[in-house]
C-alpha cells in the first residue's frame, strides 16, 4: 500500500507530516495542487525537504504528455529529485479512440490530438497519451539519457511499490515482462512472462 498526497492545497509542513506518517508518493506533481510559492512551496517542497525520515524516498508522478505539465516544470522536478520521478499517463478509456466526442461512462469527452476535454469546455479530462509517448516527451524535454527516461517508467514505479525484486529491471530471476523498443523509443513488441503478446506489423498497426 502506498499513501499518496496530491490534488491538495496542503502546505509543506502538512505534506512533511504526511510523509512522516507513511506517505511515499505525490500524485500528479504540480497539477491541481497549491501553486509553488517561495515562502511555502507546498507539496512540491517535498522534493527537497530535509524532514524526510532517514532511509525513506518520496516518489512523485508527473504527467509527461506535453499538455498537463510544461517542459520547464519537468526539468525543474527532475533536476531537484531525479531518483523519485515516476512517469504517469493519466490516460482515460478514450486512449486509442479517434478524434471527436465520445461517451465514457457518464462523461462526454472531446478528443483533439493529445488534448482531452470535458465536451463543450476547455477543461482537461485526463489524457490519451501512451506511456511510450510520455517517455519520449520526458527524454526530449530534459535531455536525459534513454536509460534515465526508461527507469522513470519502470524501475522507479517498481521501487515505489516495493516490487523491484520482480519488476522494473531485466535482472536474473525478475519477471520476464518487457518491451522491445526501436531507437526512437517506439514500441515494437510486448512480452508477458517471456511470451510475445503483441508485435508491430509491417504497416505500423
Q: Give whole-number Cα distances, 56 to 47, 95, 152, 160, 200, in Å.
A: 12, 34, 18, 10, 40
Asked if 145 and 159 touch (Cβ cutoff 8 Å), the reply is no
| Catalytic pick among 90, 112, 175, 201 | 90
Count other Cβ atoms within 10 Å, centred on residue 124: 18
Q: Is 132 a catalytic residue?
A: no
Residues designated as active site: 90
Amino acid at each position: 500500500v502506498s499513501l499518496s498526497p496530491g490534488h491538495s492545497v496542503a502546505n509543506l509542513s502538512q505534506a512533511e507530516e504526511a510523509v512522516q506518517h507513511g506517505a511515499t508518493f505525490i500524485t500528479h506533481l504540480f497539477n491541481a495542487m497549491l501553486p509553488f510559492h517561495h515562502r511555502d512551496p507546498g507539496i512540491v517542497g517535498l522534493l527537497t525537504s530535509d524532514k524526510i525520515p532517514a532511509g525513506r524516498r518520496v516518489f512523485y508522478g508527473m504527467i509527461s504528455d506535453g499538455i498537463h505539465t510544461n517542459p520547464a516544470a519537468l526539468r525543474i522536478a527532475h533536476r531537484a529529485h531525479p531518483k523519485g520521478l515516476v512517469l504517469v499517463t493519466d490516460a482515460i478509456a478514450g486512449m486509442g479512440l479517434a478524434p471527436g466526442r465520445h461517451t465514457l461512462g457518464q462523461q462526454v469527452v472531446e478528443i483533439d490530438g493529445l488534448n482531452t476535454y470535458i465536451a463543450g469546455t476547455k477543461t482537461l479530462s485526463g489524457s490519451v497519451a501512451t506511456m511510450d509517448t510520455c517517455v519520449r516527451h520526458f527524454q526530449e524535454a530534459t535531455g536525459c539519457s534513454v536509460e534515465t527516461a526508461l527507469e522513470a517508467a519502470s524501475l522507479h514505479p517498481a521501487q515505489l511499490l516495493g516490487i523491484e525484486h520482480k519488476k522494473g529491471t531485466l535482472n536474473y530471476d525478475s519477471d520476464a515482462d518487457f518491451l522491445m523498443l526501436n531507437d526512437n523509443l517506439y514500441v515494437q513488441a510486448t512480452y508477458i512472462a517471456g511470451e510475445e503478446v503483441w508485435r508491430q506489423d509491417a504497416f505500423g498497426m
